[in-house]
Amino acid sequence: MSTTATRVIVTGQKSSRRALLRRERPEHLSSPGQRARLRKETLAGYGFLVPWLIGFFGLTLIPMAYSLYLSFTSYNIFQPPKWIGLDNYIRMFTSDPAFMQSAQITLIYVLVGTPITLIAALLVAMLLNYRDKGAGFFRSSFYAPSLIGGSVSVAIVWRAMFANDGPVDNSLSFFGIDLGGWIGNPDLVLPAMILLSIWQFGATMVIFLAGLKQVPKELYEAAEMDGANAFHRFRAVTIPLLSPVIFFNLLLGLIGAFQVFASAYIISNGSGGPAGMTNFITLYLYKRGFSDGQMGYASAIAWVLLIVVAIIAFILFRTQRSWVHYSGDSR
Amino acid sequence: MTTASFSEPTFAMVENQLDDAPQNAPRRRVKRKTWQTVIWFVVLIALTAIVLYPLVWLLLSTFKPNSEFGQNMGLLPNNPTLENYVKVSEGIAGVPMQQFFLNSLIIAVGSVIGTVLSSALAAYAFARVQFKGLGILFAAMIGTLLLPFHVLIIPQYILFNNLGLVDTFIPLLLPKFLATEAFFVFLLVQFIRQMPRDMDEAARIDGAGHLRIFWSIILPLIRPALITCAIFAFIWAWNDFLGPLLYLTSPENYPLPIALRLYNDQASTSDYGATVTASFIALLPVLLFFLVFQRFLVDGVATQGLKG
């Protein structure tokens, strides 16, 4: 069932990567004297790929290289870029407290929000998996927010939800907790943002649910026969069998969380406030590049973001050997 | 099927649906299962109420008169009215509402056409053609799947600015026609790979070229996946905020999300009713899409996660 390409993304295993890259030549190409045919195939392949190739080189690879170059310059789009070496990077880490704060709150947002979202998604998926009849309605209801959660409309609603005397404030007051409005409060605006990301647990949940449906029932029955209680069954059966899906969701969740922009922009009216507590790295990058005209500095910020995302992906791929189990593997 | 012996008809119904226990199962066990099912429903209904509350609030708040916001932040309007809709239809910043709506529609429909066309072409090459460099290019495509988009906004902006294309829809639509959204290419590659090769081979023996096979065999076969791609491409383009924020400068070019920002900035205190109503209108097509196509969307995500 699981195709090779997924496994490369999800596993990074050398063996499957090789399998993916291995060229399986169809019969009509492997017989001798078919070189002309092979050349024709190559031509056809690149013909189909023309749009993608233009996009890949013109809008991704070359711009990336250019942005790396810009990150070593001072550039405001009106005058030509001026080479300043590592100054942008040095400035970022030594004399720009706004950047340090931005990096800090982004990391908190990502590292707190993503695991909680995953846990919530897994718990609700297990709840839905208990029974098939009626689950479809709940599945769809929970999925809806992840489709619209990043939109401007929802950010506007979120402001109202967490406003002073808004629904959240009123419900908490009912239990005697008086917090007031969350959006204007530097201590509470980040939790409100994290709750917005947790609210979008539906897509992750749907993926978990599909994974749970594939866990063989016999395994649970066997474990129950051996006297394992619900918690043991969860730890010894559910988690290992689901670990490839957990890995996939964790990877995509972390990378996605780094890119939160519209909701932070709308909730803070583009300022990143109060007290810089919604000034996520993408918003900071945008303001530096497009409001302050510091395109070189903003490019350096973008590259730091890219490197951090790459490091996190690398760590995940590296550690998966110890906790991700693939049913097809003999280990 | 056991005939439930409970007096409450609802319980009996729930029980009948659920029960796959053998006929002579002990009564106590059946009862326990019934209670579990009841609790299951109660917990999930409560959870649904919490999750959907913000959306219901948004819908009902569009009927609140402006003066009610701040005092009545609850669900139901005290004095329901349509005045917000009248106000919103007049537009903002001298641009009528239907202009924003039309701009959103052009961007979203253009994105759908571009994404589906270019992604299908690229996916066919990756999945079905054997050419030199396939391995490395495929790996590059997978790499862009994990690339944070924000690394590209500055160089892309400089590029489109130099070409004099800022404040047109081209910077928003051109990338879609060049298959830059690797998610869609990947999804379609996965789908094409699952298709049996027999028909390709047969067509090839009959002398059909790749273009013919792509058009007459593969495209019809992968229609469900194309529909999933089209729906996602529409919704993402419709909701996109950063792209239009960067590239569109004059209000008559604004799509709905940027127009909403105008309401949010200018009128957040004075005209909350209009802000909320415009937000709802912006969300409406996505919600309708969701209601109509939820099968495709939810199954698409499930497939993407496991097989994809």
**Could you report the predicted ipTM of this complex, rounded to two decimals?**
0.85
Least confident of B74-88, B205-219, B233-247: B74-88
Cβ-based contacts of B164 with chain A (< 8 Å): none
Contacts of A37 (CB under 8 A, 6+ apart): A28, A29
From the candidate CATH numbers 1.10.150.120, 3.20.20.80, 1.10.3720.10, 1.20.1440.230, the one assigned to the domain spanning B87-306 = 1.10.3720.10
Going by pLDDT thresholds of 50, 70 and 90, the confidence category of residue A135 is: confident
* Per-residue H/E/C for A237-297: HHHHHHHHHHHHHHHHHHHHHCCCCHHHHHHCCCCCCCCCCCCCHHHHHHHHHHHCCCHHH
Residue A2 pLDDT > 70 = no
Average pLDDT over residues B104-129: 96
Q: In this structure, is the dihedral angle defined by the CA atoms of residues B301, B303, B306 and B307, taken in order, positive or negative?
A: negative
Q: Give the span between the Cα atoms of B64 and A253, in whole angstroms.
A: 37
Put simply, the answer to whether A48 touches B129 (Cβ < 8 Å) is yes
CA dist list (Å): B2 to A178, A315, B13, B26 = 52, 54, 11, 11
Chain B interface, mutation test: which of A48, A70, A183, most B Cβ atoms within 10 Å?
A: A48
Q: How far is B7 from chain A (nearest CA, A)?
A: 22
Within 13 A of B61's CA, how many CA atoms are on the CB side? 33
What pLDDT shows up at residue B6? 33
Residue A330 pLDDT > 50 = no
Tell me whether A292 touches chain B (CB under 8 Å): no
Mean pLDDT of chain B: 84
Tell me whether A295 touches chain B (CB under 8 Å): yes
Nearest to A3 among B190, B209, B246 (CB): B190
User: What would the pLDDT profile of A75-114 be if each residue is shown by its tens digit?
Assistant: 988 889 999 999 999 999 999 999 999 999 999 999 999 9
Average pLDDT over residues A162-179: 88
What pLDDT shows up at residue B157? 95
pTM score > 0.80 for this model?
yes
Q: Look up residue A144 and give its amino acid.
A: A
Mean pLDDT of chain A: 86
Tell me whether A154 touches chain B (CB under 8 Å): yes
Structure tokens at B209: 């070229």
Going by pLDDT thresholds of 50, 70 and 90, the confidence category of residue B269 is: low
Residue that the structure tokens 């749907």 belong to: A206
State how far Cα A267 lies from the chain centre.
21
What pLDDT shows up at residue A29? 53
Q: How far is A207 from chain B (nearest CA, A)?
A: 5
Contact assessment for residue A145 and residue A195, using Cβ atoms and an 8 Å cutoff: no
Chain A interface, mutation test: which of B71, B154, B205, most A Cβ atoms within 10 Å?
A: B154
Tell me whether A241 touches chain B (CB under 8 Å): no
Average pLDDT over residues B273-301: 86
Q: Give the span between the Cα atoms of B308 and B145, in whole angstroms.
A: 12
Specify burial of residue A250 (Cβ count, 10 A radius: 0-12, 13-18, 19+): buried
Cβ-based contacts of B126 with chain A (< 8 Å): 49
Contact assessment for residue A310 and residue A221, using Cβ atoms and an 8 Å cutoff: no
Chain B interface, mutation test: which of A3, A8, A14, A60, most B Cβ atoms within 10 Å?
A: A60
* Per-residue H/E/C for B51-86: HHHHHHHHHHHCCCCHHHCCCCCCCCCCCCCCHHHH
User: Euclidean distance between the first and final Cα of chain A, in Å?
Assistant: 19
What pLDDT shows up at residue A65? 96
Tell me which chain B residue has its CA closest to the CA of residue A139. B298
Q: Look up residue A296 and give its amino acid.
A: G
User: What would the pLDDT profile of A204-225 be if each residue is shown by its tens digit?
Assistant: 999 999 889 888 888 888 888 8
Q: In this structure, is the dihedral angle defined by the CA atoms of residues B80, B86, B91 and B97, taken in order, positive or negative?
A: positive
What pLDDT shows up at residue B238? 95
What are φ and ψ of residue A296, in 5° steps? -65, -50
What are φ and ψ of residue B259, in 5° steps? -60, -35
Put simply, the answer to whether B308 touches A6 (Cβ < 8 Å) is yes
Q: Is the peptide bond before A240 cis (omega within 30 degrees of 0)?
A: no
What pLDDT shows up at residue B65? 86
Average pLDDT over residues A24-34: 56
SS3 for A166? coil
Write out residues 96-125 of A within 8 Å (CB-CB) of B: 124
Name the residue among A6, A3, A20 with its Cα closest to residue A252.
A6
SS3 for A83? strand
What pLDDT shows up at residue A12? 36
Going by pLDDT thresholds of 50, 70 and 90, the confidence category of residue A25 is: low
Put simply, the answer to whether A143 touches B294 (Cβ < 8 Å) is yes
What pLDDT shows up at residue B80? 85
Name the residue among A156, A133, A114, A146 with its Cα closest to residue A263.
A156
Tell me which chain B residue has its CA closest to the CA of residue A147. B235
User: What would the pLDDT profile of B6-62 be if each residue is shown by its tens digit?
Assistant: 333 333 333 344 444 445 555 666 777 888 889 999 999 999 999 999 999 999 999
Average pLDDT over residues B163-190: 94
What pLDDT shows up at residue A328? 55
Contacts of A76 (CB under 8 A, 6+ apart): A293, A294, A295
> Partners of A82 in the beta sheet?
A74
Within 13 A of A20's CA, how many CA atoms are on the CB side? 24
Q: Look up residue A230 and give its amino acid.
A: A
Going by pLDDT thresholds of 50, 70 and 90, the confidence category of residue A19 is: very low
Cβ-based contacts of B307 with chain A (< 8 Å): 1-3, 6
CA dist list (Å): B80 to B70, B76, B239, B268 = 16, 8, 29, 20
Residue count of chain B: 308
Tell me whether A76 touches chain B (CB under 8 Å): no
CA angle B233, B239, B245 (to 5 degrees): 115
CA dist list (Å): A191 to A123, A194, A257, A283, B223 = 21, 5, 14, 18, 42
What pLDDT shows up at residue B297? 76
Nearest to A63 among B61, B121, B152 (CB): B152
Cβ-based contacts of A309 with chain B (< 8 Å): 146, 148
What pLDDT shows up at residue B126? 94
Contact assessment for residue B100 and residue A153, using Cβ atoms and an 8 Å cutoff: no
Residue that the structure tokens 């909350």 belong to: B272
Tell me whether A196 touches chain B (CB under 8 Å): no
Q: Give the span between the Cα atoms of A92 and A301, in whole angstroms.
A: 8
Tell me whether A142 touches chain B (CB under 8 Å): yes
SS3 for B95? strand
Within chain A, what is the greatest distance between any pair of CA atoms? 84
Nearest to B178 among A54, A147, A248 (CB): A54
Q: Give the span between the Cα atoms of B186 and A203, in whole angstroms.
A: 18
> What structural domains does chain A harbor?
1-26 (no CATH), 27-88 (no CATH), 90-323 (1.10.3720.10)
Residue A14 pLDDT > 50 = no
Average pLDDT over residues A191-196: 96
Nearest to A29 among B130, B132, B210 (CB): B130
Q: Give the span between the Cα atoms of A199 and A196, in whole angstroms.
A: 5
Alpha-carbon torsion angle B234, B237, B239, B243, nearest 10: 180
What pLDDT shows up at residue B20? 46
What pLDDT shows up at residue A215? 87
Put simply, the answer to whether B279 touches A214 (Cβ < 8 Å) is no
Cβ-based contacts of B49 with chain A (< 8 Å): none
Domain layout of chain B by residue ranges: 9-61, 87-306
What pLDDT shows up at residue B26? 59
Cβ-Cβ pairs closer than 8 A, A with B, add up to 308
Cβ-based contacts of B152 with chain A (< 8 Å): 59-60, 63-64, 67
Residue A278 pLDDT > 90 = yes
Nearest to A51 among B40, B121, B306 (CB): B121
